[in-house]
Amino acid sequence: MRERMAPPLIGLCGTGRSGSTWVGSIFNSHPDVVYRFEPFHRVRNDDFSGWRSRIRDGRVGDAQLAGLRELLLPARPELEKPPFFPKSYIVPPGKRWAWPLARKAKPLGWAFSKAFTPRTPGPLVFKEVAFSPEFEQLVHTSMPLVYLIRDPRAVVASVTQGQNKGVMPTGQWRVLESRLRKHDEALADRWVPKLNDLSPVEKNALLWRMEVEQGIAACKGNDNAYILSYEALCMDTLAQAQAMLEHCGLTLSPETRTFLELSTSGGEERSRYGDSGGGAYFSVYRNPRESMSKWKTKLSAEQIKAIDGVVEGSPALEAVHTED
């Protein structure tokens, strides 16, 4: 029995490679939750781009949250992502098998939406990455928000690895100067003259610093915003997940407890729900201690020193639980 009714709309945001896919799956494992994966990055139409502009411009308040939920509620293949969990609301069986077909054959998207849009939906959680300007505005609504942060060395190591594999973008490097000028003139004066000589890890560290500083600043003084450290979640998964869910008006359900056990055990039981797709790089199954410290084997001492030099003095570091 919940102590209070869960609100109809909940947001999860963070930088890329901060663990948000895993945390999103923790939310999704709750039987009452409707989950939408990166809607504003993955749906390219006027409705979504218009809503994103409205959010960014501060034109979305409590009165508009019902409309935002209505936009996000319909099931779309591009916004669904395994693992697929049993739900307390009415959803027909077969989503796990219909989803890959609808992803490959776009004409099947209408049928997928018709079949799998919840008929009696519960609270809706949407997860986004690189969403800081929008997050900065949404904290002024009553919507519960979770802002996920991770050690910059871990994020940079993972992002750089993905860029080397061709599965993570590098486009933000081209706008580093304008972003620095907009974010902090003093920081820009320090780094803009060096941009042409920066390594990929230094560029990615600058992006981490700007985005997380903006996110942390937005959280301050806003009770609806909850900062969750990936490292803290790895070190005490059950307690941290429970605190996050309670912030959002949800209990730690037996189903979520089971998923947490499976997603952190490294065993074969993951087939019960399916993996998140995209191979190990995007998996929601992990050894938390190993995942938390993997950056130490991926970065050279020189790269670690370079990242530390970029983020040194950042107020964002105060919220990160690092493990040296």
Residue tagged 């409707």 (tokens): 34
Write b or e for each residue in 69-84: b if 16 or more Cβ atoms lie within 10 A of its Cβ, otherwise e. bebbeebbbbbbbbbb
pLDDT: is 122 or 209 the higher one? 209
Say how far apart CA 217 and CA 61 lie, in whole Å: 19
Write b or e for each residue in 89-122: b if 16 or more Cβ atoms lie within 10 A of its Cβ, otherwise e. eebeeebeebbeebeeeeebeeebeebbeeeebb
Rounded to 5°, the CA angle 200-219-296 comes to 35
- Over residues 17-45, mean pLDDT: 95
**pLDDT value, residue 284:** 72
Work out the number of other CB atoms within 10 angstroms of the CB of residue 126.
24
**pLDDT value, residue 208:** 97
- For residue 247, what are its two tokens? 């912030």
**pLDDT value, residue 81:** 86
- For residue 84, what are its two tokens? 């697929």
pTM: 0.93
Task: Please give the distance of CA 22 from its chain centroid, rounded to a whole number.
Answer: 8
pLDDT at 224 over 50: yes
Residue 128, sorted as left (phi over 0), alpha (psi -120 to 50) or beta, turns out to be: beta
Say how far apart CA 269 and CA 284 lie, in whole Å: 13
pLDDT at 279 over 80: no
Say how far apart CA 138 and CA 226 lie, in whole Å: 13
Say how far apart CA 28 and CA 255 lie, in whole Å: 10
pLDDT at 280 over 80: no
Say how far apart CA 263 and CA 72 lie, in whole Å: 26
Say how far apart CA 34 and CA 36 lie, in whole Å: 7
pLDDT at 129 over 60: yes
Work out the number of other CB atoms within 10 angstroms of the CB of residue 183.
16
**pLDDT value, residue 115:** 93
Q: Where are the alpha helices (DSSP H) in the chain?
A: 20-28, 39-42, 46-56, 65-72, 95-104, 109-116, 132-138, 152-165, 176-183, 185-191, 200-219, 230-235, 237-247, 254-265, 288-293, 295-298, 301-311
